[in-house]
Amino acid sequence: MRPMNAHPPRRQSIDGFTLTELLVLVIIVGILSALAVPNLLGYFSRTQVDAGAEALEGVLRQAQREAIRRSQTCAVVIPTGADPVVRTATNTEVAGSNENCLPARNLSQQTGSGQQAADLTLRNIRIDSNLTANPPTVGFTFKGTPTNVAANTVLVISSTRSPSSSSRCIVVSDLLGLIRAGNYNGTPTNPTEANCRIRPQ
């Protein structure tokens, strides 16, 4: 027989979390989010800059190949500033340039409607350059050499969303027309070749 003053055994509570446990969990998740979000945004900006630089380098190499293949000058307009639209130069912008030197590409997903098939819009990207012509152009002769022989052309590609993130650069040599890409370590608004660390090929 059981004594009368004995208490029945306690049941364990399995109802869920206490308010204190939930607050601690929310605080931990908040701290982890505060640490992860800036890194994630920086990663997206770097990825976008890398893709923009590769696309621009591809357009320049294609223009050079087409100039050699067609035995005609092929020039590309590369506007400076945010969200530039890279396009082929007209004959009035660059004397002797073939307006159709770049073959049509399917960029409808990237550019939207109302642009030529060879146009390339670099969204959330800013381009700075040492080009002085109006409009700023990079052209190639039928030999594949640049039409601008005054100095090496330096193009700096950076993000408009995160200006402090890494910048990329493209250098077109003035005599041979070599197109090289790398990381840019200076102020993008005044690009110099000395600040462009070229990647090994």
Is the model's pLDDT at 61 over the cut of 90? yes
In this structure, is residue 8 part of a structural domain?
Answer: no
In this structure, is residue 125 part of a structural domain?
Answer: yes
Contacts of residue 186, Cβ cutoff 8 Å, sequence gap at least 6: 192, 194, 195
Contacts of residue 195, Cβ cutoff 8 Å, sequence gap at least 6: 169, 184, 185, 186, 187
Note down the domain range covering 114. 19-198
CATH label of the domain that carries residue 28: 3.55.40.10
pTM reported for the whole predicted model: 0.76
In this structure, is residue 184 part of a structural domain?
Answer: yes
Q: What is the pLDDT of residue 1?
A: 56
Q: Of 147, 135, 121, 131, which is closest to residue 67 (Cα–Cα)?
A: 147
Q: What is the pLDDT of residue 37?
A: 80
In this structure, is residue 5 part of a structural domain?
Answer: no
pLDDT in tens, 70-112: 999 999 999 999 999 898 888 888 888 878 888 765 444 344 4
In this structure, is residue 148 part of a structural domain?
Answer: yes
Is the model's pLDDT at 12 over the cut of 80? no
Share of the chain above pLDDT 90, in %: 48
Q: What is the pLDDT of residue 190?
A: 86
pLDDT in tens, 134-168: 899 999 999 999 988 778 999 999 999 887 778 99
Is the model's pLDDT at 127 over the cut of 50? yes
- What CA–CA distance (Å, rounded) separates 54 from 50? 6
Q: Domains in the chain: how many in total?
A: 1
Distance set, CA 60 to CA 1, 11, 107, 171, 178 (Å): 96, 75, 16, 11, 10
In this structure, is residue 38 part of a structural domain?
Answer: yes
Q: Of 74, 78, 113, which is closest to residue 96 (Cα–Cα)?
A: 74
Q: Dihedral through CA 123, CA 125, CA 129, CA 134, nearest 10?
A: 30
- In this prediction, residues 49-53 reach a mean pLDDT of 93
Distance of CA 123 to the CA centre of its chain: 8
Confidence band, pLDDT 50/70/90 cuts, at residue 50: very high
In this structure, what token pair is assigned to residue 19?
A: 């308010």
Q: Of 56, 75, 48, which is closest to residue 138 (Cα–Cα)?
A: 75
Indicate the DSSP class of residue 16. Answer: -
Q: What is the pLDDT of residue 115?
A: 45
Q: What is the pLDDT of residue 96?
A: 80
Q: What is the mean pLDDT of the chain?
A: 84
In this structure, is residue 99 part of a structural domain?
Answer: yes
